[in-house]
Amino acid sequence: MDAIVIGSGPNGLTAAATLARRGWSVLVLEAQHRPGGACYSEELTLPGYVHDVGAAFFPFADDSPAFRDLDLTGAGLEWRNAARESCHPAPDGSCVTISRDPEQSAISFGEDGPAWRRLALWRRAMGDRLAAALLGPLPGFGAALRLGPYHLAWLAREGLGSTASFAVRHFRTEAARRVLPALALHVDLGPDDFAGAGLGLVLALLASGPGFRIPVGGARSITHALIRRLEEAGGVLRCSARAERIVVRGGRAVAVRTSDGDEIPVGRAVLADVGPLALYHRLLEEIPATAGMRRRMRHFRYGWGTFKMDWALSGPVPWTAAEARQSAVVHAGDSVADLRSFTRQVRGGELPTNPYLVIGQQSLADPSRAPVGGHTLWAYSRVPSVVEGGWAAQREAFADRIERRLEGLAPGFRSLIRARAIFSPPDLQAMNENLVGGDLGGGSAHIDQQLFFRPAFPYFRYRTPVRGLYLASASTHPGAGVHGACGYNAARFALHDYLASRVA
């Protein structure tokens, strides 16, 4: 084999397909019985109800350079949008919603409509330069400068603040002020955290641009399209094949040993779609070259845990807020103060009393997810990875708490439930060992683990101290999300290094 890719998440498959399309012979080893990592769909509740096991909304569907290069729509992937993108209702009846149409959003933002319109039009003016700057490899001076010096300075200044301070500066109503803090809480960034506004703003702008896109047939359709691109270029995917050891000789990765005892030689590169702890502490044996990274990776921090639920419903969710009935994603977070107290509780190791929720309504845009008349619902909250008494004892009661919260925003919701599935942090990690402690982001999203520090300086360009070995997972820049960029960038470095070694 020219290359072995360990792990078939979206980054692993993107890396593998990219290399295969450049003529390399590629083998992907996947520990689980099915591919896709956190980008897959299964009938988790009842027959005919298709639920996304992890990622569900894809704002980088069109703009990701990796997905563009692989032409995933040409590989059979079909995207849909709901009528609205991100709805933020509260029990007091207030509600604002981001739509792709800036005017529709501006009406929803009411008094804050002009402020929102300015942001949405700014995003429109940036076009796909924004995705290129966000997703390309670092240092990325060219892509950053293409945004224009004024826009770059504005983005940097605003992005380095907290979401709460951004909200106070730009919006007057509480309903508008809670939007960015709710979006940044997709990861472990609370309303007052330094540089939280960067992530909150990016997600808000993406919602207003391409939107929170929904693949027909479920997140697994993305994985299937990637596999198609891999296999048509001659690449091979092997499931139920866990990589146990990367064999290093003379400072270079030369083979991968699997759980069934095979040792597969590799000629050019190994790309690992795994966490940095797993790479440096399990897959690599102790060698002097990696001693420094082994030590540093002991301090690599994972983000909070995730508590995820799926429901099979007999009808659409009867939200009190009419806009929520049309929205791909609904966020439950009553106010900035409510999100602050949620953050405090999760950081303090407590189960949140009023769980913040990211709620997904995929079947609104893709009826293939449920039997006729039925609907799916997907939601997660952020929680401590470990709780007093253990998750096994807490999960049902916490799931009931989440349902009570939904019932408050949509009276009658519980009467529609036909079945539910619950995934606490240990359940998520059992499904995919990259979701350490239930963290959905491959590592904390705080600024000290982003950009040049992901996973650690100076290894922010996918290379490792072992020649021919690359880290290609969401634990590298640009981090969490299904955009394939970590894998794509890592593959391009592997290609570059191989060509450079031939010239030398």
Ligand X SMILES: Cc1cc2nc3c(=O)[nH]c(=O)nc-3n(C[C@H](O)[C@H](O)[C@H](O)COP(=O)(O)OP(=O)(O)OC[C@H]3O[C@@H](n4cnc5c(N)ncnc54)[C@H](O)[C@@H]3O)c2cc1C
Binding site for ligand X (CB under 6 A): 6-12, 29-32, 37-39, 54-58, 242-243, 273-274, 278, 306, 308, 380, 428, 432-435, 440, 442, 473-474, 480-482, 486
Task: Specify the residue, 5 or 143, whose C-beta has the smaller distance to ligand X.
Answer: 5
Please report how close the Cβ of residue 389 comes to ligand X at its closest, in angstroms.
23
Q: Considering beta carbons, is residue 179 or 474 the nearer one to ligand X?
A: 474
Which residue number, 54 or 137, has a Cβ lying nearer to ligand X? 54
Nearer of residues 302 and 380 to ligand X, judged by Cβ: 380
CB of 180 to ligand X, least distance (A): 17
Q: How far is the CB of 235 from ligand X (least distance, A)?
A: 15
End-to-end CA distance of the chain: 22
Residues whose CB falls within 8 Å of the CB of residue 436, separated by 6 or more in sequence, listed in order: 275, 277, 302, 429
Alpha-carbon distance values, 67 to 60, 142, 237, 472 (Å): 9, 21, 19, 16
| Spacing of C-alpha 355 from chain mean position | 20
Closest of 472, 434, 484, 455 to residue 53, by C-alpha: 434
Among candidate residues 225, 213, 481, the one with its CA nearest the CA of residue 362: 213
Q: Shortest gap between Cβ of 256 and ligand X (angstroms)? A: 9
Q: What is the DSSP string of 247-303?
A: EEETTEEEEEEETTS-EEE-SSEEEE-S-HHIIIIIIB---GGGHHHHHHHTTPPP-
**Which amino acid is residue 399, in one-letter code?**
A
What are the Cα distances from residue 61, in Å, to 134, 182, 209? 14, 22, 11
Query: DSSP assignment, residue 72?
Result: T
Q: Smaller CB distance to ligand X: residue 97 or 170?
A: 97
* CB-nearer residue toward ligand X: 334 or 439: 439
- Closer to ligand X by CB, 12 or 161: give it: 12
Shorter beta-carbon distance to ligand X: residue 31 or 132: 31
**Contact call for residues 188 and 382 (beta carbons, < 8 A):** yes
* 445 contacts 309 by C-beta, under 8 angstroms: no
CB of 83 to ligand X, least distance (A): 18
> What DSSP character marks residue 452?
G
Distance of alpha carbon 232 from alpha carbon 325, whole angstroms: 41
CB of 441 to ligand X, least distance (A): 6
CB 224, min distance to ligand X, A: 14
Q: Closest approach of Cβ 243 to ligand X, in Å?
A: 4
